[in-house]
Amino acid sequence: MRHSLRTYPAAALIILAVLLLPAFALAAEPFKCSACHKGLIKGTVPHKPVAAGECLRCHQQLSDNHPMGKESMGFIAPKEKLCATCHGGIVKKPFLHKPVGEGKCTACHLAHSSEEKSLLKEAAPALCFGCHPKERFTGNHTHPPVANGECLACHDAHQSDTKFLLRKSGPQFCFMCHDSKIAMGKSSHQPVAAGECVSCHAPHGSAYRKLLKADYPIVLYRPFSTEAFPLCFSCHDPELASAVKTEKATNFRNGDRNLHAVHVNKPGKGRSCKMCHNPHASTQERLIFPKVTGFGTWDIPIRFHVTPNGGGCSVGCHKPFSYDRIKAVEQ
């Protein structure tokens, strides 16, 4: 007995489904956003989800009105928290770059592609100067990383454990580049020992040599006045050197005779601070140089020592002297 498909309607449907399966498979191929959104990858550096066609890593369809509905598409998280869903490690530390803290990552980065690494809108320092006025970072003397546009040599772009987004804290920050031996010795300048280099130095640019915040004369002789040594007297009491008699302005005194004044208050040959003191650290007490340079080929030796109530020195330019704050030494 012969049978037709009409006799077995269920079988007919099964055969038809099998025959049409390839067509259904083609119709069910995942829809690609790039079919409409062309040119998202304009730069040589694409955002990884964009390059992989994984648009739904960031976006989601909110209604069936897409593509016509204005609010039919959105983000998988609030916009200010979107980047942190993948890049959560950049918001862990206590000090955040302001755009990072506000979730405004696109202030610096492009979302889809860029010609710059890390999807930056521009390379540093042009990118940094978009918010930070360039004139604040210039001067007659400029810190080499600033002059070279290497802002990220000192600062982290996103977060830090230290204010100003510095890469390290305290003296270790400056010693990433500068030799730490500059701060080593029997005595250290208090700002140096505390890692407060910016007490004396401007970190970006300055009108003064060595990025100093004020003038620090390097001449060996200079008539004394407060205005003549503005950097030193921005912290130190001018009476340290100006008071001829004192019992408190300085410990460098014989009785109440101010020995700083003896050295600097000379009309013709007032010694500058630079002649005797190292501004960072020294192998002797009180930041005293072991040798004074600047006198041709002869480095004048200074042998300095301290006692409970005073001290003394033997210098190549005069006979040995001692001093005592309690009981003046007869000279």
Give pLDDT, residue 101. 95
Is 207 a domain residue?
no
Give the C-alpha distances (Å, rounded to integers) separating 192 from 59, 144, 184, 289, 305: 52, 21, 9, 16, 22
Q: Is residue 320 part of a domain?
A: no
Closest by CA to 196, choosing from 219, 169, 215, 220, is 169
Asked, for residue 56, whether it belongs to a domain, the answer is yes
Encode pLDDT of 243-275 as tens digits: 999 999 999 999 999 999 999 988 778 999 999
* Residue 67 within any structural domain of the chain: yes
Domain enclosing residue 101, as ranges: 40-166
Q: Which two tokens stand for residue 124?
A: 């540093």
In a domain, residue 130? The reply is yes
Q: Is residue 131 part of a domain?
A: yes
Q: Contact, 173 vs 162, CB < 8 A?
A: yes
Q: Which long-range contacts (CB under 8 A, 24 or more apart) does 311-319 make?
A: 311/285, 313/288, 316/292
pTM: 0.80
Is 171 inside any structural domain? no
Residue 52 within a domain: yes
How many domains is the chain built from? 1
* Average pLDDT per consecutive 10 residues, the chain (331 residues; last block may be shorter): 53 50 49 84 93 94 85 92 94 96 96 96 94 88 94 96 93 91 94 92 94 94 89 94 94 96 86 93 96 90 95 88 95 76
